[in-house]
Amino acid sequence: MTSEPPKAPRFETMSDWLQAWGEEVPETIRDHSNSEMDMGKDDMADMGGDMPGMMSPDDMQSLEDATDAEFQGMWLAMMTEHHEGAIEMARDQVEHGQYKPAVDLAGQIEAAQTHEVETMNELQGR
């Protein structure tokens, strides 16, 4: 059993916080797995510069163009980088956050994503 909370409730929790604070909730927050697909290339490029581990439009195109033999290794490498970005952001929240529920959630995310990176590194023979 993993310590990671299910993905949907994590994003629903953050959406609830934004609503409670009177902030706008991005339309794609409830669909993290497909949020980049709903954006144009320019939107993805703008967003990726601010978030560690975000794939670029070129990265996504490379995955789309990959052969079956190439895809798995590319996907694992990109997902490892993506998870490492999540760990970096979670650690920042743990160290500097002021809202205890968000700090607690960040700690859970850091632990779960670290475990997943370890698993992906094993799959890559690292």
Tokens 């998870």 — which residue? 83
Per-residue pLDDT at 11: 81
What sign for the dihedral angle of Cα 56, 85, 71, 8?
Answer: negative
Distance CA 56, CA 36 (A): 10
Q: How far is CA 81 from CA 15, 88, 104, in A?
A: 25, 11, 23
> Which residues of the chain fall below pLDDT 50?
1, 5-6, 32-41, 43-48
The residue whose two tokens read 């859970």 is 108
Q: What is the pLDDT of residue 12?
A: 85
Contact 44, 56 (CB under 8 A): yes
Matching residue, tokens 């949907």 = 8
pTM given for the model = 0.71
pLDDT of the residue at 29: 58
CB 56 within 8 A of CB 45: yes
CA distance 73 to 57: 18
The answer to whether the beta carbons of residues 116 and 82 sit under 8 Å apart is no
Interval 57-90: pLDDT, tens: 999 999 999 999 899 999 999 999 999 999 999 9
**Gap between the Cα atoms of 71 and 62, Å rounded:** 9
pLDDT at 96 (0 to 100): 97
Judge contact between 85 and 72, C-beta under 8 A.
Answer: no
